[in-house]
Amino acid sequence: MKRLIGIGIIFLILFSCQYLNPLHSDNTLTEKIEAEFKLDSEIIDLTKLNSFEWNELLILGPYSVINNVEKELNLDLENIRENGIEYSDSINLLIFLKDGKSVKISEVSRGIGDFTNLTQIIEKSKAKFVKTENGQNRLAE
């Protein structure tokens, strides 16, 4: 009986750990990104964000369903499932990935514009965006 209880406790701990560490939008990172987009510069270079380790970027637009994106792109987005992007039209969600797992997220206001490369994995070395007059930020060539 003690063995069964021990196994149950271990299972409960392992199961609950995935819900104990959800990522929330990093406000400092968001402010930094939004400030870059508000500058007069035509190119926004997110490759310079080096205060944490990441190797890919994923951008989700309004009403994105994280479970669907996770399955479609074969990613582990378990720690951001509690994010409100699925119900919001005021933000784009920038997800910074390290080896296919989300390590930081930023809820960036759509006031800086939208992105044309939604739901695509972007290598860090290519995370440079061109601001356009119509408000559609696109990857730099």
For the chain, percent of residues with pLDDT exceeding 70: 85
pLDDT of residue 50: 86
The one-letter amino acid code at 51 reads: S
Give me the residue spans of the domains in the chain.
22-139
Q: Are strands 114-115 and 136-139 parallel, antiparallel or unpaired?
A: parallel
Residues of 26-49 as b/e, b for ≥16 C-beta within 10 angstroms? beebbeebeebbeeeeeebebeeb
Nearest alpha carbon to residue 138 among 117, 118, 124: 117
Q: Who's near 92: CB < 8 A, 6+ residues apart?
A: 59, 60, 61, 62, 107, 108, 110, 114, 115, 118
pLDDT, tens digit, 9 for 90 and up, residues 58-79: 999 999 999 999 999 999 888 9
pLDDT of residue 9: 63
